[in-house]
A and B are shown apart, each in its own frame.
Chain A
Amino acid sequence: MRGVVAFFRELDATVDAVETLKKRPLGDFTVYTATPRHEIEHAADRGPSAVRRFTLVGGLLGVTFGYWIAIWISDYWPLVVGGKAIATWVPYTVFGFEVMVLIGALSTVAGLFANARIPRITTTVGYDARFSHGDYGIWIEPAPDKMQEAEQVLRDAGAVEVRVER
């Protein structure tokens, strides 16, 4: 994998570069920022996150399992009290709710991991420790014949350092 990494000191310079790369596609790019910024998210325009689907499915599975386990246990090991139902949904809503939250939360984390592609065990080309400290960065993977053009676009936007990495 060969690409160009650019370092920016300012947020608006980074946003300018991202907008330019959206207008003039030179290859896949990744933006690095020490904190989530709406300006970058809007400029990159990646679409909605799929994490919400994991949350929904996990929550539905959880609530189903919560009710089911309580009802199944009551039927399997019935504690008979005169005039009382063996299994009843009102108290079992506690289980339905708690397990919904539990599985929904764990599914959300699974969704985060799957979509953000973490845990990541290999060192990644293009990342620099400065990106967690205060600088912004853009990593772009252009075709070999567009490498110089990519460098120029990033410099024009205000990058303080641009270098080719492989």
Chain B
Amino acid sequence: MASAARPVDVELLRRPNLPSADVRLPAVKDYEQVDDEIVATLGPQPGWFIALGIAILFLLIGASAWAYQIYTGLGVAGYNPPIMWGVYIVTFVFWVGIGHAGTLISAILYLFRAGFRTTIYRCAEAMTVFAVMTAGLFPILHLGRPWKFFWLIPYPNWRLIWPQMKSPLVWDVFAILTYLTVSTTFLYIGLIPDFAVLRDREKNPIRRQLFAQLSLGWRNSDREWRHFTRAYLFLAALSTPLVLSVHSVVSFDFAMSDVPGWHTTVFPPYFVAGAIYSGIGMVFTIIIPLRKWFNLKHYVTINDLDAAAKLALFTSLVVGVSYACEWFVAWYSGSPAEKQFFANRIWGQWWWASAVLYTCNMVLPLSLFSQWCRRNTTWLWILSIFINIGMWFERFVIVEPSLSHEFEPWQWATYVPTWVDYAILLGSFGWFSMWFLLFIKQMPVMALAEIKEIVQPRLKKPHEHGIDITGHHLPYDHDTPGEFE
């Protein structure tokens, strides 16, 4: 990279970090420090190569299992009629859900002017794109003839037949493709000014040329910023309902059928809240090690994590209420099939999966009512793993118990995933991690331009009336205690 990182001011790092409404990053002094410290994260690290190697190994395991499945047939997966939706559909919904937090953080919290998003949104956005890329593979993996996946896309074809536009599966194709396109666009547009920074610092002519192409000749002019900020605002405004719609549409895959446990109007908000909850969990899983390994604790402050933890707590409560609604409706509906199904889900055949789900998604997150837990990064990271596990099991509990316990008792069955299912599940984590690891070494993990916006600009003279040109009160009022840990 063009220049080495500026030495970290150790004394400053040791002092309590006291971000406030006025000064969010007190340990960051100027724009140059932002560039130096964040661009320095692009340098090679041995741990990164090891992590990438592990990710690729997992990916190869998954790819091998898929090749075996294509060669042998879908029978090698754990499908057991009438249970024809298995781990692939569960994992598809899981990854789409993971993809939700990125756009929530980058778009919705942007519109709400939530300050804590600034330092974590780039990671969350990248996570969204790679999670949706991962999710998009699973409907294809689920097909007996995966090379025919494009039959779901409406296009003029020699058969002169078209998709069934009233099918939720076709809605899904539109929703996921739109989400992937808009999320990728949003990520790239935000990266353009940062590519310009990399271009201007880069000494290697090939990389410099590459960054010049990616930056589209960005010059940081007032004309460019004026249109950029508007475009960014509109992209955020368009992405906001998209976040809510995509998982609603995914939930229609279930809710539009009359299968017990699925045919319920609570599914869209329930799915959206669950998706945001799982996405925040994955953000914690990623950002907590990242801020440590990249020495960026003075950017992603404890206050930022605390605020994100409150969001996780809120969404876990919404998810908990949704579970309670399901139980209530099953009892109140008077439908024997629905009652039977829920009894089987909670006390019968699937009790163990329900126990994992409720423990991870309803019980453990209650710890976030404690400020100590919200500000303890070790606990947050451990909790995030439980959230990921719990949310995968939520989808498992939605899909498998319903299909295994429909209206006709003679149809009742069970479902046991095979090694192929597990290998492909592992491969999906390898695929996701590989892309994310490649991303963090090629592009800034934090938005340089947006972080500079919250850094005190250099001024010739303080503004009159004790308020400087940025609207900050002088002297700064450190009213929110915090620490680096």
Contacts and interface: CB of A to CB of B under 8 A. Distances in A.
Interface string B233-261: 01100110110010001001000000000
Contacts of B182: 101-102, 105
A129 B459 CA distance: 21
Contacts of B238: 55, 59, 101, 104-105, 108
Interface residues of A, number: 67
A27 to B, nearest CB: 15
A118 B218 contact: yes
B292 interface: no
B347 interface: no
Nearest to B181: A102
A112 B231 contact: yes
Contacts of B30: 134
A112 B469 contact: no
Contacts of B331: none
Interface stretch (B133-141, B164-172, B406-414): B164-172
Contacts of B193: 35, 132
Contact of A116 (B160, B181, B224): B224
Contact of A94 (B32, B249, B452): B249
Main secondary structure of the interface of A (DSSP, over half): helix
B165 A73 contact: yes
A69 B241 CA distance: 22
Contacts of A44: 222
B219 A108 contact: no
Nearest to A134: B31
B234 A52 contact: yes
B200 interface: yes
A149 interface: no
Contact of B174 (A12, A98, A134): A98
B200 A121 contact: no
A82 interface: no
Interface string B181-202: 1100110010011001101110
Nearest to A43: B222
Nearest to A110: B231
Given A49-B230, A109-B185, A36 B225 contact: yes
B230 A11 contact: no
Contacts of B452: 34-35
A23 interface: no
B206 interface: no
B222 A30 contact: yes
Contacts of B417: none
A7 interface: no
A166 interface: no
B222 A132 contact: no
Contacts of A59: 238
A52 B230 contact: yes
B231 A108 contact: yes
Interface residues of B, number: 66
B227 interface: yes
Contacts of B394: none
B235 A105 contact: yes
Contacts of B154: 69, 73
A118 B245 CA distance: 32
A106 B453 CA distance: 26
A121 B217 contact: yes
B223 A46 contact: yes
B220 A34 contact: yes
Contacts of B162: 73, 76-77
A40 to B, nearest CB: 6
A94 B174 contact: yes
A12 B463 CA distance: 9
A11 B469 contact: yes
B217 A91 contact: no
Interface string A90-126: 0110110111011011101101110111111110100
B111 to A, nearest CB: 15
Nearest to A113: B216
Contacts of B199: 132
A51 to B, nearest CB: 4
Nearest to A33: B220
A36 B228 contact: yes
B223 A79 contact: no
23 contacts: A9-B458, A15-B469, A34-B452, A36-B225, A41-B222, A46-B222, A46-B226, A73-B154, A73-B163, A73-B165, A74-B165, A77-B161, A97-B241, A98-B178, A105-B182, A106-B185, A108-B231, A109-B189, A109-B235, A120-B216, A129-B200, A132-B193, A132-B199
Closest 4 CB pairs of A and B: A120-B217, A129-B200, A35-B452, A134-B31
Interface of B: 30-32, 35, 154, 160-166, 171, 174-175, 177-178, 181-182, 185-186, 189, 192-193, 196-197, 199-201, 216-231, 234-235, 238-239, 241-242, 245, 249, 252, 449-450, 452-453, 457-461, 463, 469-470
Given A32-B222, A41-B222, A49-B226, 14 more contacts: A32-B219, A55-B234, A79-B164, A98-B249, A105-B238, A109-B235, A111-B227, A112-B189, A118-B192, A119-B217, A122-B217, A132-B193, A132-B197, A134-B32
